[in-house]
Amino acid sequence: MQGYRILCFFLISFLLVFQSGAISYGDDSPHPGPASLLHKYHEIENVLRKNIGRVFFYVESSVNKNTSRVDIYGTIKYPFAIVQNELLIPPNWCRIVLSHPDIRACTYKKVNDAWLLNVYDVNKFSEPLEAAYLMKFVYRISKLEPLYFNVALTAQEGASSTKDHQFRFEAIKLKKIRRLFICVIFLVTVPWSISLQKYSVARGSVSV
């Protein structure tokens, strides 16, 4: 339950920053794996130490042609095993995505060895379920190690002709300070007819 609450908080914070609409060009290189994630932590460690609130996020975004990417980093003080166990259970992700105000419903099922999530997304908070767009996500565990894990949700198509939606969650245990370093990544391919400004945020830090 704690891991679920943590990611919900990240998603809500992601939404609030995501809607700010400022374009910035950050690091758009992929960095899956514990070594790359740990390197990123040391790169922004001094910024994270300036936290004056209970939860601290560092946000980056990038635009590459018609693909937009948003990265949210943060440190939290929760047991690694609790967070990992919550997020390695595919049905839990339906509860997680429902924390987003534009998600009307979510269903899941296992087909052969794959978990599929049907997410019903609306453009406006006031729209009913009948107006929602059905996004078909595939859940997968990208990498699993004793002190690191990486899970992802991918959908080939989305609303407004968007494509290649990727939502990734990475976490690594920081032994020295007994905290977790978390990264939430969202990528989407946007048609040229839609302004990329809607899908980008500015680089910076957020403390709450």
Tell me the whole-structure pTM to 2 decimals.
0.79
pLDDT at res. 79: 86
CATH code of the domain covering residue 144: 3.30.530.20
pLDDT at res. 144: 93
**Residue 19 to residue 199: CA distance in whole angstroms:** 8
Count how many domains the chain has: 1
* C-alpha neighbours within 13 Å on the C-beta side of residue 150: 14
Residue 174 one-letter amino acid:
L
Residues 15-56: pLDDT tens digits? 544 444 433 334 444 556 899 999 999 999 888 877 655 556
Expressed as residue numbers, the domain containing 19 is: 2-207
pLDDT at res. 53: 54
pLDDT < 70 positions in the chain: 1-32, 51-56, 192-208
Left if phi > 0, otherwise alpha if psi is -120 to 50, otherwise beta: which for 112?
Answer: left
pLDDT at res. 40: 93
